[in-house]
Amino acid sequence: MGERLKKKVAIITGAASGIGAATAELFAREGAVVLVADRNAAGAEATARRISPGGEQARALRVDVYEEADVQAMIRAALDAWGRTDILVNNAGVGSDMDIRSFTPDEFDRVLGINLRGPLLCCKHALPAMLDAGRGAIVNVASISSTCGIPGQSIYGPSKGGLLQLTRQLAVEFADRHIRVNAVSPGTVETPLIGGPVHDSERLSDEHKWLRARHPIGRFGQPVEVAAAILFLASDEASFITGANLAVDGGYTAQ
């Protein structure tokens, strides 16, 4: 076990699978205790059990970040269990491929509700404990869609663009109180959001082939590769970094 997050308390949303689960497991290996939060209660429990079968280092909680009462309960659970909240990772998110010509208000509310309102609520309720402690780190999981126009992401892209601006706003607002707020922007990563691992080139959809060709590194990313970037930004190694957006995208946004 490492010590980069020794004795830190971390809350990670969307941690039942994909980037969130990989981040929770990596944080725990580096010494943190972790609250594994997700709408998928069974998945959150499975992640927590992998980390800590006895529950000493990880606990699971069903949380819908759209619901303020759920978010408040999440912060209370961390404080009741461990007395503080040092790190918040806003990873919970949903995708959408709805075209601007066919999107509905319900789809807008669903995507913006999870991808932007959710992190806003999580920050709102995590910040008081961080301010009381005199320090904290927040990492928002944005996307290459926050800075690039990508066909078919007329709703998803703006939701992540808003999250990136929230990152900058909070970074400036709370820097003098020792709260750091940063973002990571993954490229296409093999998570449930894209259907899981993509190994068979012959069976790739046309969309996946197009996306893979746009990544100069020649492949999609793995959840642990994004988790490593989140770990860095959450750790004291990034003590002079706030308001940053770290692209973890195989060169996508360098073009």
Distance between CA atoms of residues 226 and 229, nearest Å: 5
Residues across the chain: 255
- Judge whether 163 and 111 are in contact, CB under 8 Å: no
Tokens of 42: 């069974």
Give exposure, 214-231, as e/b (b: 16+ Cβ within 10 Å).
Answer: bbeeeebbebebbbebbb
* Cα 233 from chain centre: 12
Element (H, E) at 246: strand 245-248
Active-site position among 156, 174, 220, 252: 156
Strand order across the beta sheet in which 179-186 lies:
58-62, 33-38, 9-13, 87-90, 136-141, 179-186, 245-248
Distance between CA atoms of residues 99 and 49, nearest Å: 39
Residue 156 a catalytic site member: yes
Question: What amino acid positions are annotated as catalytic residues?
Answer: 156
